Structure 1
Protein backbone atom coordinates (compact mmCIF):
# COMPACT_ATOMS: atom_id res chain seq x y z
CA UNK A 1 0.00 0.00 0.00
CA UNK A 2 2.31 2.73 -1.29
CA UNK A 3 -0.12 5.64 -1.30
CA UNK A 4 -3.48 6.47 0.24
CA UNK A 5 -6.59 5.81 -1.84
CA UNK A 6 -8.35 8.88 -3.21
CA UNK A 7 -10.46 10.14 -0.31
CA UNK A 8 -14.22 10.21 -0.65
CA UNK A 9 -14.71 12.33 2.46
CA UNK A 10 -12.35 14.21 4.72
CA UNK A 11 -11.49 11.90 7.62
CA UNK A 12 -8.60 14.00 8.89
CA UNK A 13 -10.50 15.09 12.01
CA UNK A 14 -11.72 11.62 12.94
CA UNK A 15 -10.25 8.66 14.79
CA UNK A 16 -9.92 5.02 13.76
CA UNK A 17 -9.95 2.10 16.19
CA UNK A 18 -8.97 -1.26 14.71
CA UNK A 19 -10.68 -3.69 17.07
CA UNK A 20 -9.32 -7.23 17.11
CA UNK A 21 -9.90 -10.34 19.19
CA UNK A 22 -6.28 -10.62 20.27
CA UNK A 23 -4.30 -13.53 21.65
CA UNK A 24 -2.68 -13.49 25.11
CA UNK A 25 -0.12 -16.06 23.89
CA UNK A 26 1.05 -13.94 20.95
CA UNK A 27 3.69 -11.23 21.24
CA UNK A 28 1.80 -7.98 20.78
CA UNK A 29 4.33 -6.30 18.49
CA UNK A 30 3.84 -9.02 15.90
CA UNK A 31 0.08 -8.73 15.57
CA UNK A 32 -1.33 -7.81 12.20
CA UNK A 33 -3.68 -5.25 13.76
CA UNK A 34 -0.77 -3.22 15.10
CA UNK A 35 1.01 -3.41 11.75
CA UNK A 36 -2.05 -2.18 9.89
CA UNK A 37 -2.62 0.60 12.42
CA UNK A 38 0.92 1.82 11.84
CA UNK A 39 0.50 1.65 8.06
CA UNK A 40 -2.75 3.64 8.12
CA UNK A 41 -1.36 6.09 10.67
CA UNK A 42 1.53 6.86 8.32
CA UNK A 43 -0.92 7.69 5.52
CA UNK A 44 -2.28 10.65 7.48
CA UNK A 45 -5.91 9.97 6.58
CA UNK A 46 -7.12 10.06 10.19
CA UNK A 47 -6.25 12.31 13.13
CA UNK A 48 -5.65 9.26 15.33
CA UNK A 49 -5.27 5.55 14.53
CA UNK A 50 -5.00 2.86 17.19
CA UNK A 51 -5.43 -0.87 17.66
CA UNK A 52 -7.15 -2.51 20.61
CA UNK A 53 -8.07 -6.03 21.64
CA UNK A 54 -10.75 -8.00 23.44
CA UNK A 55 -8.40 -10.46 25.15
CA UNK A 56 -5.09 -8.63 25.55
CA UNK A 57 -3.78 -5.18 26.33
CA UNK A 58 -4.45 -2.55 25.24
CA UNK A 59 -8.13 -3.41 25.68
CA UNK A 60 -10.51 -1.86 23.16
CA UNK A 61 -12.52 0.05 25.79
CA UNK A 62 -9.37 1.69 27.17
CA UNK A 63 -8.21 2.57 23.66
CA UNK A 64 -11.56 4.09 22.70
CA UNK A 65 -11.62 6.16 25.90
CA UNK A 66 -8.18 7.46 24.99
CA UNK A 67 -9.27 8.84 21.60
CA UNK A 68 -10.27 12.44 22.29
CA UNK A 69 -12.02 13.25 19.02
CA UNK A 70 -15.70 13.96 18.28
CA UNK A 71 -15.92 11.22 15.62
CA UNK A 72 -14.46 7.70 15.86
CA UNK A 73 -14.78 4.74 13.49
CA UNK A 74 -14.42 1.23 14.88
CA UNK A 75 -13.47 -1.46 12.35
CA UNK A 76 -13.56 -5.04 13.66
CA UNK A 77 -10.43 -6.75 12.35
CA UNK A 78 -12.34 -10.00 11.97
CA UNK A 79 -12.98 -12.43 9.12
CA UNK A 80 -16.78 -12.35 9.14
CA UNK A 81 -19.85 -10.87 10.76
CA UNK A 82 -20.69 -13.11 13.70
CA UNK A 83 -21.02 -13.33 17.46
CA UNK A 84 -17.79 -11.46 18.25
CA UNK A 85 -18.51 -8.52 15.95
CA UNK A 86 -22.23 -8.23 16.69
CA UNK A 87 -22.27 -9.03 20.42
CA UNK A 88 -18.96 -9.29 22.28
CA UNK A 89 -17.27 -6.28 20.73
CA UNK A 90 -20.24 -3.86 21.05
CA UNK A 91 -20.75 -4.98 24.64
CA UNK A 92 -17.09 -4.38 25.48
CA UNK A 93 -17.32 -0.86 24.03
CA UNK A 94 -20.81 -0.09 25.41
CA UNK A 95 -22.10 0.56 21.90
CA UNK A 96 -25.82 0.66 21.22
CA UNK A 97 -25.86 0.19 17.45
CA UNK A 98 -24.17 1.23 14.23
CA UNK A 99 -23.83 4.76 15.63
CA UNK A 100 -23.51 5.48 19.34
CA UNK A 101 -23.70 8.99 20.77
CA UNK A 102 -21.89 9.35 24.07
CA UNK A 103 -20.60 11.99 26.45
CA UNK A 104 -16.94 11.74 27.42
CA UNK A 105 -14.83 13.90 29.76
CA UNK A 106 -13.79 15.75 26.60
CA UNK A 107 -17.32 16.33 25.34
CA UNK A 108 -19.70 14.75 22.85
CA UNK A 109 -18.46 11.81 20.77
CA UNK A 110 -20.07 9.83 17.96
CA UNK A 111 -18.80 6.25 17.56
CA UNK A 112 -19.46 4.40 14.30
CA UNK A 113 -19.32 0.59 14.31
CA UNK A 114 -18.29 -0.58 10.83
CA UNK A 115 -18.60 -4.02 9.27
CA UNK A 116 -15.69 -6.47 9.82
CA UNK A 117 -12.76 -6.18 7.43
CA UNK A 118 -13.40 -9.67 6.03
CA UNK A 119 -16.75 -8.56 4.62
CA UNK A 120 -15.10 -6.12 2.21
CA UNK A 121 -15.89 -7.02 -1.44
CA UNK A 122 -12.15 -7.03 -2.24
CA UNK A 123 -11.33 -9.75 0.29
CA UNK A 124 -11.55 -12.71 -2.11
CA UNK A 125 -9.46 -10.88 -4.71
CA UNK A 126 -6.80 -10.04 -2.11
CA UNK A 127 -6.78 -13.70 -1.04
CA UNK A 128 -6.47 -14.92 -4.64
CA UNK A 129 -3.62 -12.52 -5.43
CA UNK A 130 -1.69 -13.85 -2.43
CA UNK A 131 -2.17 -17.46 -3.55
CA UNK A 132 -1.30 -16.73 -7.19
CA UNK A 133 1.81 -14.80 -6.14
CA UNK A 134 2.97 -17.78 -4.10
CA UNK A 135 2.31 -20.20 -6.94
CA UNK A 136 4.31 -18.01 -9.29
CA UNK A 137 7.28 -17.44 -6.97
CA UNK A 138 7.50 -21.11 -5.93
CA UNK A 139 6.74 -22.38 -9.46
CA UNK A 140 3.69 -24.38 -8.45
CA UNK A 141 1.77 -25.67 -11.52
CA UNK A 142 -1.99 -25.51 -11.91
CA UNK A 143 -2.12 -29.25 -12.52
CA UNK A 144 -1.90 -31.81 -9.69
CA UNK A 145 -2.28 -28.94 -7.21
CA UNK A 146 -4.97 -28.25 -4.64
CA UNK A 147 -5.78 -25.21 -2.52
CA UNK A 148 -6.97 -25.85 1.04
CA UNK A 149 -8.64 -22.83 2.64
CA UNK A 150 -8.78 -22.89 6.44
CA UNK A 151 -11.51 -21.02 8.29
CA UNK A 152 -12.22 -20.81 11.99
CA UNK A 153 -15.68 -22.35 12.08
CA UNK A 154 -17.97 -22.25 15.10
CA UNK A 155 -20.45 -24.37 16.96
CA UNK A 156 -22.35 -21.19 17.84
CA UNK A 157 -23.62 -20.32 14.37
CA UNK A 158 -23.16 -20.85 10.64
CA UNK A 159 -21.70 -17.44 9.79
CA UNK A 160 -18.04 -18.54 9.70
CA UNK A 161 -18.81 -21.71 7.72
CA UNK A 162 -20.92 -19.92 5.12
CA UNK A 163 -18.66 -16.89 4.75
CA UNK A 164 -15.46 -18.95 4.43
CA UNK A 165 -17.06 -21.19 1.80
CA UNK A 166 -18.24 -18.14 -0.11
CA UNK A 167 -14.73 -16.67 -0.12
CA UNK A 168 -13.32 -20.03 -1.27
CA UNK A 169 -15.84 -20.28 -4.12
CA UNK A 170 -15.02 -16.74 -5.26
CA UNK A 171 -11.31 -17.51 -5.69
CA UNK A 172 -11.94 -18.98 -9.15
CA UNK A 173 -13.26 -15.59 -10.29
CA UNK A 174 -9.80 -14.13 -9.74
CA UNK A 175 -7.63 -16.64 -11.58
CA UNK A 176 -7.38 -19.62 -9.23
CA UNK A 177 -7.46 -22.74 -11.44
CA UNK A 178 -6.66 -25.66 -9.06
CA UNK A 179 -9.54 -27.15 -7.06
CA UNK A 180 -10.28 -25.40 -3.77
CA UNK A 181 -11.27 -27.26 -0.60
CA UNK A 182 -12.49 -25.68 2.63
CA UNK A 183 -11.60 -26.90 6.11
CA UNK A 184 -12.10 -25.54 9.62
CA UNK A 185 -10.65 -25.48 13.10
CA UNK A 186 -13.84 -25.98 15.08
CA UNK A 187 -16.22 -27.84 12.78
CA UNK A 188 -15.99 -30.45 10.01
CA UNK A 189 -14.32 -30.87 7.67
CA UNK A 190 -11.46 -30.36 10.13
CA UNK A 191 -8.06 -29.16 8.93
CA UNK A 192 -6.37 -32.12 10.66
CA UNK A 193 -8.26 -34.42 8.25
CA UNK A 194 -7.18 -32.57 5.10
CA UNK A 195 -5.82 -35.76 3.50
CA UNK A 196 -9.40 -37.01 3.25
CA UNK A 197 -10.01 -34.21 0.73
CA UNK A 198 -7.02 -34.35 -1.60
CA UNK A 199 -3.96 -36.38 -2.51
CA UNK A 200 -2.65 -33.78 -4.97
CA UNK A 201 1.11 -33.63 -5.42
CA UNK A 202 1.17 -29.94 -4.44
CA UNK A 203 -1.06 -28.64 -1.66
CA UNK A 204 -1.25 -24.96 -0.75
CA UNK A 205 -2.77 -24.23 2.66
CA UNK A 206 -4.30 -20.76 2.78
CA UNK A 207 -5.62 -19.71 6.22
CA UNK A 208 -8.62 -17.43 5.99
CA UNK A 209 -7.73 -16.01 9.38
CA UNK A 210 -7.39 -12.32 10.14
CA UNK A 211 -5.26 -12.68 13.26
CA UNK A 212 -1.66 -13.88 13.29
CA UNK A 213 -2.16 -15.37 16.74
CA UNK A 214 -2.14 -18.92 18.07
CA UNK A 215 -4.45 -20.43 15.42
CA UNK A 216 -2.48 -19.24 12.41
CA UNK A 217 1.02 -19.51 13.82
CA UNK A 218 0.76 -22.77 15.76
CA UNK A 219 -2.49 -24.73 15.79
CA UNK A 220 -3.24 -24.86 12.06
CA UNK A 221 0.29 -25.55 10.75
CA UNK A 222 0.80 -28.14 13.50
CA UNK A 223 -2.39 -29.95 12.46
CA UNK A 224 -1.06 -30.02 8.89
CA UNK A 225 2.28 -31.47 9.99
CA UNK A 226 4.67 -28.52 10.20
CA UNK A 227 7.16 -28.13 13.03
CA UNK A 228 5.97 -24.81 14.45
CA UNK A 229 8.91 -24.65 16.87
CA UNK A 230 11.44 -24.63 14.04
CA UNK A 231 13.45 -21.40 13.88
CA UNK A 232 13.11 -21.33 10.10
CA UNK A 233 9.33 -21.76 10.30
CA UNK A 234 8.97 -18.99 12.88
CA UNK A 235 11.27 -16.63 10.98
CA UNK A 236 9.52 -17.09 7.65
CA UNK A 237 6.09 -16.66 9.23
CA UNK A 238 7.18 -13.48 11.02
CA UNK A 239 8.38 -12.08 7.67
CA UNK A 240 5.04 -12.98 6.04
CA UNK A 241 6.65 -15.66 3.86
CA UNK A 242 5.31 -19.13 3.03
CA UNK A 243 6.75 -22.26 4.61
CA UNK A 244 7.03 -25.53 2.71
CA UNK A 245 8.01 -29.13 3.25
CA UNK A 246 7.77 -32.52 1.55
CA UNK A 247 5.80 -35.21 3.32
CA UNK A 248 4.75 -38.63 2.03
CA UNK A 249 5.45 -37.61 -1.55
CA UNK A 250 3.48 -34.36 -1.35
CA UNK A 251 4.78 -30.81 -1.46
CA UNK A 252 3.01 -28.88 1.30
CA UNK A 253 3.05 -25.07 1.29
CA UNK A 254 1.68 -23.05 4.19
CA UNK A 255 0.84 -19.38 3.69
CA UNK A 256 0.73 -16.83 6.51
CA UNK A 257 -2.82 -15.92 7.61
CA UNK A 258 -4.57 -13.56 5.20
CA UNK A 259 -4.80 -10.90 7.89
CA UNK A 260 -1.03 -10.42 7.67
CA UNK A 261 -1.23 -9.21 4.05
CA UNK A 262 -0.26 -5.52 3.77
CA UNK A 263 -3.24 -5.00 1.44
CA UNK A 264 -5.60 -5.59 4.37
CA UNK A 265 -4.86 -2.07 5.61
CA UNK A 266 -6.64 -0.69 2.57
CA UNK A 267 -9.61 -2.97 3.21
CA UNK A 268 -9.86 -1.55 6.73
CA UNK A 269 -10.08 1.95 5.26
CA UNK A 270 -12.68 0.68 2.78
CA UNK A 271 -14.88 -0.49 5.67
CA UNK A 272 -14.89 3.05 7.07
CA UNK A 273 -15.84 4.51 3.71
CA UNK A 274 -18.56 1.91 3.21
CA UNK A 275 -20.15 3.01 6.49
CA UNK A 276 -20.46 6.53 5.09
CA UNK A 277 -22.52 5.56 2.04
Structure 2
Protein backbone atom coordinates (compact mmCIF):
# COMPACT_ATOMS: atom_id res chain seq x y z
CA UNK A 1 0.00 0.00 0.00
CA UNK A 2 1.20 3.51 -0.85
CA UNK A 3 1.85 4.88 2.64
CA UNK A 4 1.89 8.50 1.44
CA UNK A 5 -1.76 8.22 0.42
CA UNK A 6 -2.75 7.40 4.00
CA UNK A 7 -0.32 9.63 5.87
CA UNK A 8 -3.18 11.99 6.81
CA UNK A 9 -5.59 9.20 7.80
CA UNK A 10 -6.59 7.38 10.96
CA UNK A 11 -7.75 3.80 11.01
CA UNK A 12 -10.26 2.75 13.66
CA UNK A 13 -10.32 -1.02 13.91
CA UNK A 14 -13.32 -2.05 15.93
CA UNK A 15 -14.89 -5.23 17.23
CA UNK A 16 -18.04 -6.25 19.02
CA UNK A 17 -16.31 -6.60 22.37
CA UNK A 18 -17.59 -8.22 25.54
CA UNK A 19 -17.54 -7.38 29.24
CA UNK A 20 -17.67 -11.12 30.04
CA UNK A 21 -14.87 -12.47 27.83
CA UNK A 22 -11.48 -10.76 27.67
CA UNK A 23 -10.46 -12.87 24.64
CA UNK A 24 -13.14 -11.16 22.58
CA UNK A 25 -10.97 -8.05 22.25
CA UNK A 26 -7.63 -9.79 21.59
CA UNK A 27 -7.81 -9.95 17.77
CA UNK A 28 -8.59 -6.23 17.52
CA UNK A 29 -5.56 -5.32 19.62
CA UNK A 30 -3.36 -7.82 17.78
CA UNK A 31 -4.26 -6.59 14.29
CA UNK A 32 -4.11 -2.93 15.33
CA UNK A 33 -0.61 -3.47 16.72
CA UNK A 34 0.52 -5.04 13.46
CA UNK A 35 -0.88 -2.18 11.37
CA UNK A 36 0.62 0.36 13.74
CA UNK A 37 3.99 -1.35 13.28
CA UNK A 38 3.71 -0.93 9.51
CA UNK A 39 3.22 2.86 9.83
CA UNK A 40 0.62 2.90 7.05
CA UNK A 41 -1.62 5.43 8.84
CA UNK A 42 -1.13 8.59 10.86
CA UNK A 43 -2.66 6.64 13.73
CA UNK A 44 -4.40 3.33 14.39
CA UNK A 45 -6.99 3.11 17.16
CA UNK A 46 -8.84 0.20 18.71
CA UNK A 47 -12.52 0.50 19.59
CA UNK A 48 -15.48 -1.65 20.56
CA UNK A 49 -19.24 -1.64 20.61
CA UNK A 50 -19.74 -3.43 23.93
CA UNK A 51 -16.67 -2.42 25.96
CA UNK A 52 -14.13 0.35 26.42
CA UNK A 53 -12.83 2.18 24.51
CA UNK A 54 -16.22 2.84 22.95
CA UNK A 55 -16.39 3.33 19.20
CA UNK A 56 -18.40 6.57 19.19
CA UNK A 57 -16.05 8.20 21.71
CA UNK A 58 -12.93 7.13 19.79
CA UNK A 59 -14.29 8.55 16.53
CA UNK A 60 -15.28 11.82 18.20
CA UNK A 61 -11.74 12.29 19.49
CA UNK A 62 -10.00 12.02 16.10
CA UNK A 63 -8.77 15.12 14.27
CA UNK A 64 -7.18 13.62 11.13
CA UNK A 65 -8.59 14.78 7.76
CA UNK A 66 -9.63 11.22 6.92
CA UNK A 67 -10.90 8.43 9.16
CA UNK A 68 -11.39 4.83 8.03
CA UNK A 69 -13.76 2.81 10.21
CA UNK A 70 -13.29 -0.91 9.79
CA UNK A 71 -15.46 -3.56 11.49
CA UNK A 72 -13.50 -6.66 12.45
CA UNK A 73 -16.64 -8.70 11.90
CA UNK A 74 -17.37 -11.83 9.85
CA UNK A 75 -20.71 -10.99 8.26
CA UNK A 76 -22.54 -7.97 6.90
CA UNK A 77 -25.17 -8.51 9.55
CA UNK A 78 -27.39 -6.61 11.91
CA UNK A 79 -24.67 -4.97 14.03
CA UNK A 80 -22.15 -4.11 11.32
CA UNK A 81 -24.69 -2.93 8.73
CA UNK A 82 -27.56 -1.49 10.77
CA UNK A 83 -26.91 -0.81 14.45
CA UNK A 84 -23.42 0.68 14.18
CA UNK A 85 -23.91 2.72 10.95
CA UNK A 86 -27.03 4.25 12.51
CA UNK A 87 -25.20 5.08 15.73
CA UNK A 88 -22.40 6.73 13.75
CA UNK A 89 -24.80 8.72 11.59
CA UNK A 90 -24.13 6.95 8.29
CA UNK A 91 -27.58 5.47 8.09
CA UNK A 92 -31.09 6.47 9.14
CA UNK A 93 -33.55 3.98 10.69
CA UNK A 94 -35.42 2.11 7.98
CA UNK A 95 -33.06 3.26 5.23
CA UNK A 96 -32.44 0.49 2.68
CA UNK A 97 -29.03 1.68 1.48
CA UNK A 98 -26.56 4.29 2.70
CA UNK A 99 -23.45 6.16 1.65
CA UNK A 100 -20.28 4.76 3.22
CA UNK A 101 -18.45 8.08 2.85
CA UNK A 102 -19.43 11.22 4.74
CA UNK A 103 -17.90 14.68 4.90
CA UNK A 104 -18.19 16.35 8.29
CA UNK A 105 -16.61 19.77 8.25
CA UNK A 106 -12.95 19.33 7.32
CA UNK A 107 -13.06 15.59 7.97
CA UNK A 108 -14.09 12.70 5.71
CA UNK A 109 -15.23 9.45 7.28
CA UNK A 110 -15.22 6.11 5.46
CA UNK A 111 -17.22 3.15 6.75
CA UNK A 112 -15.64 -0.04 5.38
CA UNK A 113 -17.33 -3.39 4.91
CA UNK A 114 -16.48 -6.23 7.35
CA UNK A 115 -13.45 -8.37 6.62
CA UNK A 116 -15.31 -11.69 6.56
CA UNK A 117 -16.93 -11.16 3.16
CA UNK A 118 -13.79 -9.95 1.37
CA UNK A 119 -12.57 -12.27 -1.38
CA UNK A 120 -9.02 -12.34 0.04
CA UNK A 121 -10.36 -14.11 3.15
CA UNK A 122 -10.49 -17.25 1.02
CA UNK A 123 -6.70 -17.33 0.93
CA UNK A 124 -6.56 -16.84 4.70
CA UNK A 125 -8.85 -19.83 5.23
CA UNK A 126 -6.81 -22.00 2.86
CA UNK A 127 -3.61 -21.11 4.70
CA UNK A 128 -5.27 -21.82 8.04
CA UNK A 129 -6.54 -25.23 6.90
CA UNK A 130 -3.12 -26.19 5.56
CA UNK A 131 -1.31 -25.04 8.71
CA UNK A 132 -3.48 -26.92 11.21
CA UNK A 133 -2.71 -30.22 9.48
CA UNK A 134 0.99 -29.45 8.99
CA UNK A 135 1.38 -28.71 12.70
CA UNK A 136 -0.11 -32.09 13.69
CA UNK A 137 0.48 -34.54 10.82
CA UNK A 138 0.06 -37.74 12.90
CA UNK A 139 -0.02 -40.48 11.69
CA UNK A 140 0.83 -38.75 8.40
CA UNK A 141 -0.28 -35.51 6.81
CA UNK A 142 -3.18 -36.32 4.46
CA UNK A 143 -3.26 -34.74 1.04
CA UNK A 144 -5.90 -31.99 0.59
CA UNK A 145 -7.91 -34.27 -1.73
CA UNK A 146 -8.16 -36.70 1.19
CA UNK A 147 -9.75 -34.03 3.42
CA UNK A 148 -13.28 -32.67 3.77
CA UNK A 149 -13.13 -29.05 4.92
CA UNK A 150 -15.88 -27.55 7.08
CA UNK A 151 -16.32 -23.83 7.69
CA UNK A 152 -18.19 -23.47 10.98
CA UNK A 153 -20.22 -20.33 11.53
CA UNK A 154 -22.80 -19.02 13.94
CA UNK A 155 -25.87 -18.66 11.75
CA UNK A 156 -29.17 -17.34 13.01
CA UNK A 157 -32.70 -17.50 11.60
CA UNK A 158 -33.11 -13.85 12.66
CA UNK A 159 -30.66 -12.54 10.04
CA UNK A 160 -29.98 -14.29 6.73
CA UNK A 161 -26.71 -12.38 6.27
CA UNK A 162 -25.22 -14.25 9.23
CA UNK A 163 -24.75 -17.36 7.10
CA UNK A 164 -24.09 -15.63 3.78
CA UNK A 165 -20.46 -14.83 4.63
CA UNK A 166 -19.82 -18.50 5.41
CA UNK A 167 -21.61 -19.75 2.30
CA UNK A 168 -19.75 -17.21 0.16
CA UNK A 169 -16.39 -18.49 1.38
CA UNK A 170 -17.49 -22.11 0.94
CA UNK A 171 -18.42 -21.39 -2.69
CA UNK A 172 -15.05 -19.75 -3.32
CA UNK A 173 -13.15 -22.59 -1.68
CA UNK A 174 -15.13 -25.15 -3.64
CA UNK A 175 -14.27 -23.36 -6.88
CA UNK A 176 -10.57 -23.57 -6.00
CA UNK A 177 -10.89 -27.37 -6.03
CA UNK A 178 -8.19 -27.91 -3.38
CA UNK A 179 -10.15 -30.20 -1.04
CA UNK A 180 -12.28 -33.28 -1.60
CA UNK A 181 -15.29 -31.21 -0.52
CA UNK A 182 -16.05 -28.01 1.37
CA UNK A 183 -19.19 -27.52 3.47
CA UNK A 184 -20.74 -24.90 5.73
CA UNK A 185 -22.02 -25.94 9.17
CA UNK A 186 -23.64 -23.79 11.84
CA UNK A 187 -24.34 -23.44 15.53
CA UNK A 188 -27.93 -22.23 15.17
CA UNK A 189 -28.98 -23.25 11.65
CA UNK A 190 -28.95 -26.33 9.45
CA UNK A 191 -26.74 -28.12 8.70
CA UNK A 192 -25.57 -28.27 12.30
CA UNK A 193 -21.93 -28.67 13.29
CA UNK A 194 -22.50 -32.17 14.64
CA UNK A 195 -23.69 -33.36 11.22
CA UNK A 196 -20.21 -32.99 9.71
CA UNK A 197 -19.44 -36.66 10.45
CA UNK A 198 -22.32 -37.84 8.29
CA UNK A 199 -21.60 -35.25 5.59
CA UNK A 200 -17.90 -36.07 5.18
CA UNK A 201 -17.11 -38.69 2.56
CA UNK A 202 -13.45 -38.78 3.60
CA UNK A 203 -11.84 -40.13 6.76
CA UNK A 204 -9.96 -36.86 7.30
CA UNK A 205 -11.88 -33.78 8.41
CA UNK A 206 -10.70 -30.21 9.05
CA UNK A 207 -13.03 -27.82 10.88
CA UNK A 208 -12.32 -24.07 10.75
CA UNK A 209 -14.35 -21.89 13.14
CA UNK A 210 -15.18 -18.78 11.11
CA UNK A 211 -15.21 -16.46 14.13
CA UNK A 212 -13.06 -13.44 14.93
CA UNK A 213 -12.22 -14.25 18.54
CA UNK A 214 -11.42 -17.26 20.68
CA UNK A 215 -14.67 -16.87 22.56
CA UNK A 216 -17.11 -19.36 24.04
CA UNK A 217 -18.38 -20.57 20.67
CA UNK A 218 -14.95 -21.43 19.28
CA UNK A 219 -13.37 -22.59 22.53
CA UNK A 220 -16.23 -24.56 24.06
CA UNK A 221 -19.42 -24.93 22.02
CA UNK A 222 -17.93 -26.29 18.81
CA UNK A 223 -15.52 -28.78 20.46
CA UNK A 224 -18.44 -30.12 22.51
CA UNK A 225 -20.59 -30.46 19.40
CA UNK A 226 -17.74 -32.36 17.74
CA UNK A 227 -17.85 -34.86 20.58
CA UNK A 228 -15.16 -33.75 23.01
CA UNK A 229 -16.28 -34.30 26.64
CA UNK A 230 -16.88 -31.05 28.52
CA UNK A 231 -14.58 -32.17 31.33
CA UNK A 232 -11.68 -32.58 28.88
CA UNK A 233 -12.37 -29.23 27.19
CA UNK A 234 -12.37 -27.43 30.53
CA UNK A 235 -9.21 -29.22 31.69
CA UNK A 236 -7.36 -28.25 28.54
CA UNK A 237 -8.51 -24.62 28.67
CA UNK A 238 -7.61 -24.27 32.36
CA UNK A 239 -4.12 -25.59 31.51
CA UNK A 240 -3.70 -22.99 28.78
CA UNK A 241 -4.05 -25.56 26.00
CA UNK A 242 -6.32 -25.49 22.94
CA UNK A 243 -9.67 -27.20 23.58
CA UNK A 244 -9.03 -29.86 20.92
CA UNK A 245 -6.05 -32.17 20.40
CA UNK A 246 -5.18 -32.52 16.71
CA UNK A 247 -6.04 -34.91 15.25
CA UNK A 248 -8.70 -36.60 17.39
CA UNK A 249 -10.68 -39.59 16.18
CA UNK A 250 -14.43 -39.23 16.43
CA UNK A 251 -17.09 -41.42 14.78
CA UNK A 252 -14.56 -43.03 12.49
CA UNK A 253 -13.09 -39.70 11.33
CA UNK A 254 -9.75 -38.04 12.08
CA UNK A 255 -10.63 -34.46 12.98
CA UNK A 256 -8.34 -31.42 12.98
CA UNK A 257 -9.78 -28.29 14.60
CA UNK A 258 -8.27 -24.85 14.08
CA UNK A 259 -8.17 -21.66 16.10
CA UNK A 260 -10.49 -18.81 15.10
CA UNK A 261 -9.55 -16.76 12.08
CA UNK A 262 -9.31 -13.31 13.71
CA UNK A 263 -5.72 -13.58 14.92
CA UNK A 264 -4.26 -14.94 11.67
CA UNK A 265 -1.32 -12.77 10.48
CA UNK A 266 -2.82 -12.44 6.99
CA UNK A 267 -5.84 -10.57 8.38
CA UNK A 268 -3.80 -7.34 8.32
CA UNK A 269 -3.66 -7.62 4.53
CA UNK A 270 -7.41 -8.13 4.32
CA UNK A 271 -7.91 -4.98 6.40
CA UNK A 272 -5.67 -2.99 4.05
CA UNK A 273 -7.56 -4.40 1.06
CA UNK A 274 -10.84 -3.15 2.55
CA UNK A 275 -9.35 0.32 3.07
CA UNK A 276 -7.99 0.47 -0.49
CA UNK A 277 -11.36 -0.68 -1.82
CA UNK A 278 -13.28 2.20 -0.25
CA UNK A 279 -10.87 5.10 -0.82
CA UNK A 280 -10.32 4.15 -4.46
CA UNK A 281 -14.06 3.99 -4.96
How would you bin the TM-score normalised by the shorter chain?
0.7 to 0.9
User: Which residue of the other structure, out of 195, 198, 201, is the alignment partner of 1:196?
Assistant: 198
CA shift digits 1:152-207 (9 cap, x unpaired): 21212322323311211211444522211210122111113333323642211111
Say which is worse superposed, 73-82 or 151-160, in terms of deviation.
Answer: 151-160
Write the mapping of 1:169-208 to structure 2, written as runs, cut at 5 A: 169-174=171-176, 176-198=178-200, 200-208=202-210
State the Cα deviation string for residues 18-38 of structure 1 (Å, max 9, x = none). 121123332158621110001
Within a 5 Å distance, the mapping from 1:106-121 to structure 2 comes to 108-121=106-119
CA distance in 1, matches of 2:159, 2:274: 23
Separation (CA, whole Å) in 1 of partners of 2:83 and 2:227: 33
Q: In 2, distance between residues paired with 1:84 and 1:242?
A: 34
Which of 174-183 and 250-259 deviates more? 174-183
Evaluate the alpha carbon distance shift between residue 15 and residue 60 of structure 1 in structure 2; reply closer, same or farther with a 3 A threshold.
same
Partner of 1:250: 253
Return structure 1 stretches of 4+ with deviation > 4 angstroms.
none
Report deviation, 1:276: 1.3
Report the Cα distance in structure 2 between the residues aligned to 1:77 and 1:234, rounded to whole angstroms: 28
> How far, CA to CA, are the matches of 2:75 and 2:103 in structure 1?
25
Q: Is the 8 A contact 1:23 1:214 kept in 2?
A: no
Unaligned ranges ≥5, structure 2: 92-98
Is the CA contact (8 Å cut-off) linking 1:236 and 1:243 kept in structure 2?
A: no
122-131 vs 132-141, which moves further = 132-141
**More deviation, 134-143/68-77:** 134-143
TM-score (norm 2): 0.84
Normalised TM-score (structure 1): 0.85
Matches of 1:99 and 1:64, distance apart in 2: 14
Give yes or no for contact 2:170–2:182 (8 Å, CA) kept in 1: yes
Residue 235 of structure 2 aligns with which residue? Answer: 230
5 Å-filtered alignment, 1:28-107, equals: 28=23, 31-96=26-91, 97-102=99-104
Q: Which residue of structure 2 lines up, in the alignment, with residue 3 of structure 1?
A: none
Matched pairs, number: 266
